[in-house]
Every structure is written in structure tokens, then in C-alpha cells.
Structure 1
Amino acid sequence: MAKAGFSRTGTVQRKTHETEIDVSVDLDGSGAYEISTGIGFLDHMVEQFSRHSLIDVKLKVVGDLHVDQHHTVEDSAIALGEAISKALGEKRGIARYGLAFSPMDETLARVALDISGRPYLVWKAGFSQPRLGEMDTELFEHWFHSIAQAAGITLHIELLYGQNNHHIIEAIYKGFARSMRQATEIDPRKGDAIPSTKGMLGSGTVEV
């Protein structure tokens, strides 16, 4: 929960020759969302992220889907990550770390993250089919790589076991959401302190 008078919101407008994106987030929301990327399955996954993280997300993307899905997937994740980074500001008082085990029927995923300002993705998951709905499954790893880079997150994603491809990726998104909820929450014991012995997070610095 945000402190009184302390707004944790971020808005990004991103326009290139490949995509045009408007996104806004509220870290202290209720999980309300309005998502339109032009890729139905990606909409579904970002909706899951919003609902289970309790981060309000408005995301509208107009992309060059006549070419392929790559630019829309990549740029949507970059813009969302940038909006989250803006909303976090100096990251004062946040828990910083998040961990979730996310089960879905026969599937179990583990997601651990650190809002460190040091972006990195470890991805240990795979799919047995090339598409889910109309979305290329190879792009899911790229989406998480892009959001980790833009938001400054060290992100470890591992599929522990699972068979159904829909269950696999949905468990991963829900695990990411729950980890983000945990990591972005304000810890009342920390006051306004930045959770780093260096006294800052992000801004291109290397943090431990």
C-alpha cells in the first residue's frame, strides 16, 4: 500500500516506425486493466499479470502485425517496463525481492526476482508447439527479457514441470505477477529507505 500522498504511477508514450504505444500503470491499484495489443493471447497474459499483481495497467498498442508479431511483443514489454520503472521512482521503501511458486493443474513454475536496477533474465522453460492462439511461443522469452531490461529487474523464470503449453505460460505470467506484487509493495519497516547498502538502485549503476 502506498503511503499517504505518495503516488506510484507511471505513463509512457512510445512511437516508432514499427509501433505506437500508450501505457500507464498504478502500482497500488486493484488489478484493473484495459489491454489491447492486437495479439489476443498476449492481451490475455498481460491481463493475468495485472489481475494477479494488483498493478492497474492500461496498454494500447498499434503495431506492424502485417510484418510479424516481434515488434509488437518487444515494444509492448519495453513500454510496460519503462512505465513500471517510472512508477517505482527511487524505489524507496519497497520490499525489492519477490518469489512465487505458481501451480496450474499439472504445471508448476517458479519465478524469483530482484528490482535491483541490474537487468538480467534467466529463462528455463520451453514449449512443445510453435503457437498459442495466434502468438508465436518463441516470443514469450523475448517479452520477459524486454520487460526485465526496461524495468531494471533481475528475473529468474523456471518451469519445474508441466505438459500443457497454455498452462505453462499462464503459470509463468501469474508467478511473475505475484512476485512483482511482493517486490513492489511498501515495507513499513523500511520507511523511506532505499533497499540497498549503496543508497541507490538503478540509474545504470551496478547494485548488490
Structure 2
Amino acid sequence: MRKNESQRETKETEVSVSVLLDGTGSTTVNTGQPFLDHLVSSLGKHAMFDIDLKASSRDGIVHHLVEDVAITLGGAIDKALGDRSGIMRFGHASVPLDESLSEAVVDLVKRPYHRIEMKIKRPEVEGIAKEDLEHFFDSLLRNLDCCIHLTVKYGNNDHHRVESAIKSLAVALRMAVSADPRREGPPSTKGSM
């Protein structure tokens, strides 16, 4: 069973998360920030990860909460993958949300690189600053320890842009973490990830 439970406690926040990669998409998320809850729930739902995440701010600063949720969640997914033996490794998805379209391309190799193009126009979306939403994706992907290209292709509504981005990432991750029944060991010519 590919599962991880992680905690992160700082003077700024307290975060606990449980992630089951071979789940049903069941999520229980409570961060005190409704849009952040929605993003994490959407990730779990569409990646088919079971996620139980609780987070609270100790200093009342939204940036710290968003960042620490992403750090803890990304790290938990990384740890749940273990040595990544027997996985598909690669995943890709284009996901629309009304007028918005996003694309995610994932390589679960343990070489951290990501490129994110969100194209958010407003200074904040649903009470979270634009820079904090971008930082959420940055921190999540950095701590997942993989290579991901995430691009919002177009859209007029910033909420839709962000939501289509998280959903495309989720669908691509679902594909990449899936078991490859024909593969033994890590999916790399090097013999390790």
C-alpha cells in the first residue's frame, strides 16, 4: 500500500496529512481557507488519492499556511511513491474548465524541475493572493521531487485558470503513479530514479 502520513509544525503553522495513492479520491481537507481546501480536494479527487489534511495558522499569515500545506502535501506524495518501482512514471493531461484550458506533463523521475505558467491576472483569487497561489504550485511540485510542466493555455476567469491547472496536474499524476503490470523495478535505464 502506497501511503504516507506527514506532519509539519513551525512557529507559523501546523499541518498534518495522510495520503493514499491507491485510493478512491476521498478527501477530508480543513485549512481554514476555502479555496485552498478546494484545490487540495480537487487534486485528491482527480488523482484518485485519498487525502486527509488538517492545517492551521499560528500567525494568521495566509502565505505561510499556503506554503506549508503545499510543502507537506508534496513531500507526503513523494514519500508514498517510495523508490517508484513499477510505476508508469510519465503522465500528461489537458483539462478544461469552461473557457479555461490547462496542460500538465509529469515525469516522476527524482530530478526536481518544474515550469509553471498560470497566467493569473487579478491580484487575488478567492481570498488568496496571486503570488501565494503560484507559490502553492511551486512548493507542491518542488517537494514532490519530480519534473513537471504545468501551463494554463488560456482562459478568462482566474478561478477557472487555477482550477483547471490543479485538475490537469491531478489527472497527469494519476497516470504517472499508476502501476505498470509489466514493469519490475524503477522505470529507468539507470536502474534507479
* Aligned residue pairs, count: 193
Q: Contact (CA 8 Å) 2:39, 2:163: kept in 1 or not? A: yes
Q: Does 1:132 align with 2:125?
A: yes
Q: Any gaps of 5 or more consecutive residues in structure 2?
A: none
1:104 to 66, 85, 97: 97
1:28 to 12, 18, 22: 22
* CA–CA separation in structure 2 for the residues paired with 1:137 and 1:114: 26
Q: CA RMSD in A?
A: 1.1
The SS at the match of 2:37 is helix
User: Runs (4+) of structure 1 moved beyond 2 Å?
Assistant: none
Q: Contact (CA 8 Å) 2:43, 2:169: kept in 1 or not? A: yes
Q: Does 1:197 align with 2:179?
A: no
TM-score by length of 2: 0.96
Q: Contact (CA 8 Å) 2:126, 2:159: kept in 1 or not? A: no
1:18 to 12, 17, 20: 12
Quote how far apart the aligned CAs of 1:75 are: 0.9
Deviations 1:5-54, CA, capped at 9 Å, x for gaps: xx100110111111111101000000000101111111011111111110
The SS at the match of 2:160 is helix
Distance 1:186 1:169, change over 3 A: same
Q: Any gaps of 5 or more consecutive residues in structure 1?
A: 1-6, 202-208
* CA–CA separation in structure 2 for the residues paired with 1:35 and 1:47: 7
Q: Contact (CA 8 Å) 2:30, 2:53: kept in 1 or not? A: yes
The percent of aligned pairs where both chains have the same amino acid is 40
Q: Contact (CA 8 Å) 2:14, 2:58: kept in 1 or not? A: no
Q: Contact (CA 8 Å) 2:103, 2:150: kept in 1 or not? A: yes
